[in-house]
């Protein structure tokens, strides 16, 4: 087998129109369905193989990028492997698939998988923070126990407690209605509390 140019019967510097015309003429001549008389007489044998070779030549030479790669491979010196002729060695094996130009999806899939792994790992390693230990400074929302001497002593909200501080006011101010007044043990003013049921 010769080069694709020889198969089509054109020169290596043939134009795209010359290659198209030569392909059509060759296809009409060797197509298995083209000559019913040749098929009936047994002349159609091997025509399918010839047509496949012709189609491959057209696929390569009709595309400018593939043709440039093919021409470059013809200029490169190629030694024939054992059992093949030098003419067979001149026709390079082209890759079956040429990239289609579609955007690859695998980077996005990989990023998604890594994000899921990170989120699951972070969730497994998360430990809720321990509640702050009472520091005896009363603020809104502090949980307190109420002493007989009318002092409010801060305790952790997870521990049993008598009331929750609504607000802390100065000694010269009054607590809002619906709250009870207890002294802040630290002497900062009054703790206005609501008792828990």
**pLDDT at position 129 over 70:** no
Indicate whether 136 belongs to any domain.
Answer: no
pLDDT of 156-196, one tens digit each? Answer: 888 889 999 999 998 898 999 899 999 888 788 899 999 98
Indicate whether 115 belongs to any domain.
Answer: no
Indicate whether 133 belongs to any domain.
Answer: no
**pLDDT at position 26 over 80:** yes
Q: Can you tell me the distance from the alpha carbon of 158 to that of 87, in angstroms, rounded to the nearest whole number? A: 90
Residue 8 sits in the same domain as residue 84: yes
CATH number at residue 60: 1.10.287.110
Range 48-51, long-range pairs (CB < 8 A, 24+ positions): 51/27
Domain residues for the domain of 11 are 4-89
Percent of the chain topping pLDDT 90? 33
Indicate whether 178 belongs to any domain.
Answer: yes
**pLDDT at position 21 over 90:** yes
CB 62 within 8 A of CB 20: yes
**Structurally, how many domains does the chain consist of?**
2
Indicate whether 48 belongs to any domain.
Answer: yes
Mean pLDDT of the chain: 80
CB 180 within 8 A of CB 194: yes
Residue 84 sits in the same domain as residue 158: no
Three-state secondary-structure class, residue 163: strand
What is the band of 76 on the pLDDT scale with cuts at 50, 70, 90?
Answer: confident
Q: Can you tell me the distance from the alpha carbon of 153 to that of 138, in angstroms, rounded to the nearest whole number? A: 8
């Amino acid at each position: 087998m010769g080069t694709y140019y020889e198969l089509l019967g054109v020169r290596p510097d043939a134009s795209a129109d010359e290659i198209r015309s030569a392909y059509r003429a060759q296809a009409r001549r060797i197509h298995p369905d083209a000559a019913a008389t040749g098929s009936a007489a047994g002349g159609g044998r091997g025509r399918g193989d010839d047509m496949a070779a012709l189609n491959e030549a057209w696929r390569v030479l009709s595309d400018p990028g593939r043709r440039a790669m093919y021409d470059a491979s013809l200029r490169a010196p190629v030694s024939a492997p054992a059992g093949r002729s030098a003419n067979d060695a001149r026709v390079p094996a082209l890759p079956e698939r040429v990239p289609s130009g579609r955007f690859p999806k695998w980077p996005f899939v990989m990023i998604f998988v890594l994000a899921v792994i990170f989120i699951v790992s972070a969730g497994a390693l998360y430990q809720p923070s321990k509640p702050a230990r009472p520091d005896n400074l009363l603020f809104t929302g502090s949980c307190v126990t109420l002493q007989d001497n009318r002092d409010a002593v801060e305790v952790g909200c997870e521990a049993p407690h008598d009331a929750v501080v609504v607000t802390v006011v100065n000694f010269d101010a009054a607590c809002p209605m619906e709250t009870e007044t207890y002294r802040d043990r630290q002497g900062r003013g009054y703790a206005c509390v609501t008792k828990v049921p």
